[in-house]
């Protein structure tokens, strides 16, 4: 019916700007509405994931896409296709359309665990290797 952005303030959801308020104003009063909550993706978090894949790939001599596929496979972020040879697994998309921020955060946290178990890099060390991307940019 309608898609618009809101912010949670206390126990209330408030429209995020005038455009969103005008969409909300068109919704019927007193009617039951089904709401699906999705948190828009954080592009910086997405870039962090790919930077992490690239740095691990550089360290072990593997392409970042391959590191990403390993992470998807080991976290179970796959689609299963039944064939004559059995069930085959293929990495699922982590695109902005495929995952909201909540799902991506869960996926990223699983990836950090896999990085520890597969590559022996502790969580603190994983975050250390991308620390420069996590720190605020300081004005010169």
Q: Is 108 helix (H, G, I), strand (E, B) or coil?
A: helix
Write the pLDDT tens digit of every residue in 76-134. Answer: 999 999 999 999 999 999 999 999 999 999 999 999 889 888 888 777 777 776 777 66
Ordered by start, the domain boundaries in the chain are 1-37, 43-134
User: Which residues pair with residue 6 across a beta bridge?
Assistant: 15
**If you average pLDDT over every residue of the chain, what do you get?**
88
Task: Look up residue 13 and give its two tokens.
Answer: 């959801």
Query: How far does Cα 6 stand from its chain's mean position?
Result: 20
Contact 102, 67 (CB under 8 A): no
The residue whose two tokens read 């909201």 is: 100
Task: Give yes or no for residue 3 having a pLDDT over 90.
Answer: no
pLDDT exceeds 70 at position 135? no
Percent of the chain with pLDDT over 70: 92
User: Is residue 135 within 8 Å of residue 91, measured between CB atoms?
Assistant: no
Where does the pLDDT of residue 137 fall: very low under 50, low under 70, confident under 90, or very high at 90 and above? very low
Does 138 have pLDDT greater than 50? no
Classified as helix, coil or strand, 140 is: coil
Q: What is the pLDDT of residue 1?
A: 62
d(CA 99, CA 107) in angstroms, rounded, equals 9
- Residue 139 predicted with pLDDT over 60: no
Rounded Cα gap, residues 48 and 39, in angstroms: 18
CA–CA separation, 79 vs 136, rounded Å? Answer: 37
pLDDT band (50, 70, 90) for residue 67: very high
What's the confidence (pLDDT) of residue 59?
A: 83
């Amino acid at each position: 019916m309608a898609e618009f952005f809101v912010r949670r303030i206390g126990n209330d959801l408030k429209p995020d700007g005038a455009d969103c308020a005008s969409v909300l104003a068109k919704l019927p009063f007193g009617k039951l509405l089904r709401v699906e909550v999705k948190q828009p993706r954080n592009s910086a978090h997405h870039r962090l994931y790919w930077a992490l894949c690239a740095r691990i790939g550089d360290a072990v001599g593997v392409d970042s896409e391959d590191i990403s596929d390993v992470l998807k496979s080991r976290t179970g972020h796959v689609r299963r296709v039944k064939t004559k040879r059995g069930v085959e697994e293929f990495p699922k998309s982590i695109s902005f359309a495929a995952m909201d921020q909540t799902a991506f955060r869960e996926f990223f946290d699983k990836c950090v665990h896999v990085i520890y178990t597969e590559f022996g890099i502790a969580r603190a060390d994983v975050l250390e290797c991308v620390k420069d991307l996590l720190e605020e940019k300081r004005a010169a």
